[in-house]
Amino acid sequence: MSAIPEKMSGYAIGQQDFSVLRMDGAIYVDKTEYIYKIVNSNSKYFFLARPRRFGKSLFLSSLRYFFEGRRELFKGLYIDSTDWDWEPYPVLRLDLNTDRYAEQGKLNIVLESLFSEWERKYEVETIREDYGQRFREIIKTAHEKTGRKVVILVDEYDKPLVGNLNKKENFEHYRLALASLYSNFKSSAEHIRLVFLTGVSRFSKLSVFSDLNNLTDITFSDQYADICGITEKELLDYFQEGIAKLAAKAGVDYEKAVKKLKRSYDGYRFAAGGSDIYNPWSVLNALDNSKINTYWNDTGYPLIVMESLKRIDADLEEAFNVSCRESSLKGQDLLNPDPTALLYQTGYITIKRYNPRTETYRLGIPNEEVKRGLYEFLIPYYAKVRRGTTNQAVVKIVEGFIEGDPDSAMRAMQAFFAGVDYKMKMENENNFHNAFFLLTHIIGLDAKTEVHTSDGSIDITIDTDEYLYIIELKYDHSAEEALRQIEEKQYARPWQTEEREIILIGAAFSSTTRCIEEWKIKREK
């Protein structure tokens, strides 16, 4: 067998097999300390939820090879220096991330392939068609044939459910099938050494959570907070060469390159006492290409999140800047998915701080990559624009606001809203505010909505280096009325000592034409 290369180099982007990664000599951020914690804990049932592309599958793969006794793969890593005996265990890895489960028969196809392989390996006679019973027989026989209890690793245990949240018939079909399958974790306890499940959420009314009273959920555990992803220390310890190449290509020094990576990909936090975490998928892609880009966004968006936000007519700034308790983030109601929990579990908002006195988490968007991509994706849900309209508007809007030419910026915004699909109706003022809010954020401007003053609430403020814009939006009213409200309520008063020029904008949106009809501009100083 080939030895592990002495020098690790290159980035195993998308590689989820620990053996391949190690044999290829790719850079591996050592997470094996967490394996040692897990195998020496008092629990044998574990659950971990993390967003997509955060390394859950790779961690499960490392668990697989660890329990199979493949010590040569762990040479030089933390776990290699421990007192583990490296005797092999029978490992059953159930990977449910291989299909979209758009039809009810898909799970059977996945299970049939896996179960047939295991039945051949452990010489199990297939005498039952029920997959729950077959699984139980495989677990029992594998223990009896090897003399060692079974390790069960379930990757994306909830994939069939997540893909069918809006399809009740399919959802119920898969809920019952998975409940039958996972009920074996309790009924076969005498044959099991360890069960480790990963997924997006703790779905209620599913046997794995309702039946196992000794399940250890490490999702919000300080002890396991850094089990997936890359901490800042790990970034600087493992990726110095890649950061230096990124800096050279961008024409900046090393420290500025680190700041660019931090601003773009850092900001996740998964426990009250956890570290700030970088998105590993984006970091590896950025270092491999020596270029900052929106890599994680390009891997897809969960439509269920967007549909949930639209369904409840959510105020977007509030949805992305919210406080709640841990219980609100842990699970998920099968019949009525909560937008805050969905946004958190899918990685679009994350923990920003924790208040121990109130036991509440403050949540927000992790970083610039997520912010930019999320707003670009949300725009069509609030204003169905024709392809290309957003990108054309972005250039002109950003130039107008930054250069102090608000008339040009507003003309570009008018063109954007004029590009709204004629089939789309701006049903209410909140939709218009949300669309306006999203558009200003897409171009990277520092925009805030519902800014409170002693005299009222400002619809939108936009900050640039040289200008502060105060914008009042009126739905089916005149721009003159909007501007008059800014002046009468003295919205600009908190910024009177500013050196920047303050520019007031009153804008009127018509529900009939679904367009910005007019605007009035006044320069304060």
CA distance 39 to 430: 51
φ, ψ dihedrals at 47, nearest 5°? -135, 135
Q: Would you state the structure tokens that stand for residue 196, as one six-digit string?
A: 């480790």
φ, ψ dihedrals at 217, nearest 5°? -90, 110
- How many CB atoms lie under 10 A from the CB of residue 326? 15
455-464: list long-range contacts, CB under 8 Å, 24+ apart.
455/489, 455/490, 455/491, 455/493, 456/485, 456/489, 456/491, 458/486, 458/491, 459/433, 460/433, 460/436, 462/401, 464/401, 464/402, 464/500
Q: Return the exposure string of 337-376: e unless at least 16 CB atoms fall within 10 Å of the residue's CB, then b.
A: bbbbbbbbbbbbbbbbebeeeeebbebebbbbbbbbbbbb
Predicted pLDDT at 351: 96
φ, ψ dihedrals at 472, nearest 5°? -115, 125
Q: How many CA atoms lie within 13 A of 468 on its CB side?
A: 17
Secondary structure of 380-443 in the HEC alphabet?
HHHCCECCCHHHHHHHHHHHHHHCCCHHHHHHHHHHHHHCECCCCCCCCHHHHHHHHHHHHHHC
What single-letter DSSP state applies at residue 476? S
CA distance 396 to 416: 10
Q: Would you state the structure tokens that stand for residue 359, as one six-digit string?
A: 């036991």
Predicted pLDDT at 227: 98
The residue type found at 146 is T
The answer to whether 458 touches 472, Cβ cutoff 8 Å, is yes
Its sign, for the CA torsion 133, 155, 227, 364, is negative
**Strand-pair category, 216-217 with 230-231:** unpaired
CA distances from 488 to 101, 454, 474, 505 (A): 58, 12, 15, 14
C-alpha closest to that of 440 among 464, 419, 458: 464
C-alpha closest to that of 158 among 104, 211, 95, 110: 95
What single-letter DSSP state applies at residue 299? G
CA distance 402 to 483: 21
The residue type found at 117 is E
The answer to whether 179 touches 193, Cβ cutoff 8 Å, is no
Predicted pLDDT at 511: 77
**Strand-pair category, 45-49 with 91-95:** unpaired
First to last CA, the chain: 75
Predicted pLDDT at 460: 86
The CA-CA-CA angle for residues 233, 236, 241, to 5°, reads: 160
Assess whether the region 18-219 and the region 385-523 belong to the same CATH fold: no
- Hey, which CATH number is domain 385-523, 3.30.420, 3.40.50, 3.40.1350, 3.30.310? 3.40.1350
C-alpha closest to that of 229 among 79, 62, 77, 56: 56
C-alpha closest to that of 314 among 423, 453, 433, 474: 433
- How many CB atoms lie under 10 A from the CB of residue 192? 19
The CA-CA-CA angle for residues 397, 402, 408, to 5°, reads: 40
What is the mean pLDDT, run by run of 10 residues, along the chain of 525 residues? Answer: 76 94 96 97 94 94 98 97 97 93 92 95 84 94 97 94 83 90 93 94 73 87 97 97 97 95 96 95 97 88 68 69 88 68 89 94 92 74 52 76 93 76 49 70 70 76 90 91 94 88 92 84 87
What single-letter DSSP state applies at residue 279? -
Predicted pLDDT at 422: 38
- Hey, which CATH number is domain 18-219, 3.60.21, 3.40.50, 2.60.40, 3.30.160? 3.40.50
Which helix (H) or strand (E) is 323 found in, with range?
strand 321-324
**Strand-pair category, 45-49 with 192-199:** parallel
Predicted pLDDT at 25: 94
The answer to whether 397 touches 409, Cβ cutoff 8 Å, is yes
Predicted pLDDT at 123: 94
Q: What does the domain layout of the chain look like in residue ranges?
A: 18-219, 230-298, 300-364, 385-523
